[in-house]
Structure 1
Amino acid sequence: MTTATTPVQRTATRPRTVLAMSEETKAAVFGPDALRRLEGVAELDPTLVVTDFSREGDGVQGRLREAEVLLTGWGCPRVDHDALLRMPRLKAVVHAAGSVKHHITDACWQRGIVVTTAASANALPVAEYTLAAILFANKRVLDGARAYRESRRHVSLLSLFPGVGNYRRTVGLVGASRIGRRVAELLKPFDLRVLMYDPYLGADEARALGVELSDLDALCLRSDVVSLHAPELPGTRHLFDAARLSLMPDGATLINTARGSLVDTDALTKELRAGRLHAVLDHTEPEVLPADSPLYELPNVLLTPHLAGSIGGELHRLADAAIDEIQRYATGLPFHHRVDPDSLAHSA
């Protein structure tokens, strides 16, 4: 299997490339400038977008037979054994999004296909959202704004929120993922104590990140804000159940930009309805809550519709990251963001 430092053996200066994603993804991620740049580094038909590898007509099967690189995005069909039979020359999959688990199968690894992802690029806006949420949570911005709006006069924040502020508060990060690590980096300039829990994080890595390693229960007990950045795995389902939520101090804030399944929604709703905790939730389980969920209306909840990740103009960063990888491939350089199949069992 190709290693992270070994370039893929390629056959063309401009590798023959096929787009495999939804039409909506292509339109949102690959603007005119990105497509022009892509055509400069890859040989492709920019008007052809494959959503079904068995599709006939429009020269699709001929393009797939010649494809050396598959440029994928949200809406890409599964690249399974049958699909790979249609792509005998395929050597690399470049994913212009985050997780590859939805479309990359064991058949890809068995054939030695190298996979790269724009997950690092997609991590940036999530980390920025999280930073803002942490600083606003400790500052009690939503509470202060609501009190001001309701009273329409001077609000004594010190009397309402005597512990308000970010100085020497403790933030607990759950998961040393790309996003968790980026959040840790963004928090470095602030006078905050940062704890991190991740069973795969070593002491040397923690020191380099400027965080204090902690077990999960201790992190919950000590943190004013707990932010979730762990992957969705069988072992992380309801990681924050009623017992773990009960460990968080009164007035603490839970931020979830990871996956809704990490939190027991019923248990969290109970804590929030009691007013004991606050929450910033960009992911929930179910992903769209029932219309009668109290989380829509509770004053101590900021509920956003899965917007922490790349949206709008931020999507163009994903295109740039993917094109950068194809350019590296075309010049014989190893990918910057190659996916390690051995790590997928404990990553997003």
Structure 2
Amino acid sequence: MADRPRALLAMSPEFLPQLFPEPLMRRLDAVLDFDPALIARDYADPAAKAALGEAEVIVSSWGAPPLNDEALAAAPNLKAVLHAAGTVKWIISKAGWERGLAVSSSSGANALPVAEYTLASILMAGKGIFQLREDFRKARNFTLGYIHPQVGNFGRTIGIVGASKIGRRVVELLRPFDFTVLLADPFVEAAEAAALGAELVQLDELVARADVVSVHAPDLPETEHLINADRLAKMRDGTVVVNTARGRLVDTEALTVELLSGRLSAVIDVTEPEPLSAHSPLYDLPNVFLTPHVAGSHGNELSRMGLFMVEEAERYVAGEPLLHRVDPETLWRQA
């Protein structure tokens, strides 16, 4: 394509082949004119600064330098940023939004594996798999035909905290199952929740009614310890807490007290601090399933994030609206 817009890659170099394996790189090269060997880590670098001065599009990801006032002043032709990662809060300055940059993000692609992890956790927790596994491992035997009376997913109540992209996808994935789904989110109306397939309730009601409480709210000053000691105390015995959002949303100390008592169980992919101290009891409790921040995109899932931005580049060049464009007006309350 002779009139391909000039572009610049900006990210940690090790992510490039994972996000854009050869077939995706060919598609990106078909619509954007860039040097694949030049990957900006610092816009003050002479080669990066020269390319920035000509760039109409930046294709960025983890490790990209922020587009601060100095970088924007050096980028007079810049019109779009296609971010093959999650949040753009740290990369686009106020001046960038004021310029009217078209900014797109792969946060929707990253939401998919997190929602899949959450669904698996909910179903496994409902079957009592985590405790039963521990029991089986210790006994090395079981009674064939014995019915475990306290397990099962029929008629469970699932509480979703936050109608984020991930939270909405989890609600969607729960539809085929025989669950009652509750949703707590101050920015959602009852009719919208019903259209999603959930009952809108206040958070205190959600934690009191749900068999599983799954956290999907953004990490904001207002959401620190959203699940605190009082709300944990409101949960019924046997409730399972699932956190794939951010560790700060759950009071780790208060949750640890409840888990040590055996009253609650948890599936935890994110913690505060992260990682936990090597002496934390959460590593060894049979009612805790602890994973090392793996719910989001890993391995071949990174190429889906690249695909989202390749498709956005194709839309941009075709003059079509960007499907995953970030709204600066609502960005503050997103993850």
- Shorter-chain TM-score category? over 0.9
In structure 2, the residue matched to 1:91 is 79
In structure 1, the residue matched to 2:93 is 105
Contact 1:17 1:70 survives alignment (8 Å):
yes
Out of 102, 109, 120, the position equivalent to 2:108 is: 120
Contact 1:257 1:283 survives alignment (8 Å):
yes
Task: Determine the C-alpha separation between the residues in 1 that align with 2:328 and 2:254.
Answer: 35
Task: Determine the C-alpha separation between the residues in 2 that align with 1:333 and 1:13.
Answer: 16
Contact 1:148 1:155 survives alignment (8 Å):
no
- Number of residue pairs aligned between Structure 1 and Structure 2: 334
| TM-score (normalised: structure 1) | 0.93
Identity between Structure 1 and Structure 2 (%): 53
Q: Which runs of 5+ in 1 are unaligned?
A: 1-11
In structure 1, the residue matched to 2:181 is 194
Task: Determine the C-alpha separation between the residues in 1 that align with 2:18 and 2:268.
Answer: 25
Task: Determine the C-alpha separation between the residues in 2 that align with 1:246 and 1:240.
Answer: 10
In structure 1, the residue matched to 2:150 is 163
The alignment yields a C-alpha RMSD, in angstroms, of: 1.3
Out of 61, 68, 71, the position equivalent to 1:73 is: 61
2:10 is the alignment partner of 1:23: no
1:13 offset after TM fit, Å? Answer: 3.9
Contact 1:158 1:164 survives alignment (8 Å):
no
Deviations 1:106-148 (A, max 9, x none): 1111111111111111100000000000000111111112211
1:28 offset after TM fit, Å? Answer: 2.3
Deviations 1:148-189 (A, max 9, x none): 121111147967x52200000000000000000000000000
Task: Determine the C-alpha separation between the residues in 2 that align with 1:87 and 1:146.
Answer: 58
Deviations 1:174-208 (A, max 9, x none): 00000000000000000000000000011221111
Task: Determine the C-alpha separation between the residues in 2 that align with 1:346 and 1:60.
Answer: 32
1:33 offset after TM fit, Å? Answer: 1.8
- State the SS of the aligned residue for 1:172: strand
Read off the aligned partner of 2:328 and give its amino acid letter: P
Read off the aligned partner of 2:12 and give its amino acid letter: S
Q: Which runs of 5+ in 2 are unaligned?
A: none
Task: Determine the C-alpha separation between the residues in 2 that align with 1:312 and 1:174.
Answer: 28
In structure 2, the residue matched to 1:53 is 43
1:331 offset after TM fit, Å? Answer: 0.5
1:1-348 equivalence runs, <5 A: 13-56=3-46, 59-155=47-143, 161-348=148-335
Task: Determine the C-alpha separation between the residues in 2 that align with 1:318 and 1:74.
Answer: 12
Identify if the C-alpha distance between structure 1 residues 155 and 20 changes in structure 2 by more than 3 Å, giving closer, same or farther.
farther
Read off the aligned partner of 1:89 and give its amino acid letter: N
Contact 1:13 1:330 survives alignment (8 Å):
no
1:247 offset after TM fit, Å? Answer: 0.7
Task: Determine the C-alpha separation between the residues in 2 that align with 1:227 and 1:152.
Answer: 32
More divergent stretch after superposition (31-40 vs 308-317): 31-40
| TM-score (normalised: structure 2) | 0.97
Task: Determine the C-alpha separation between the residues in 2 that align with 1:156 and 1:169.
Answer: 25
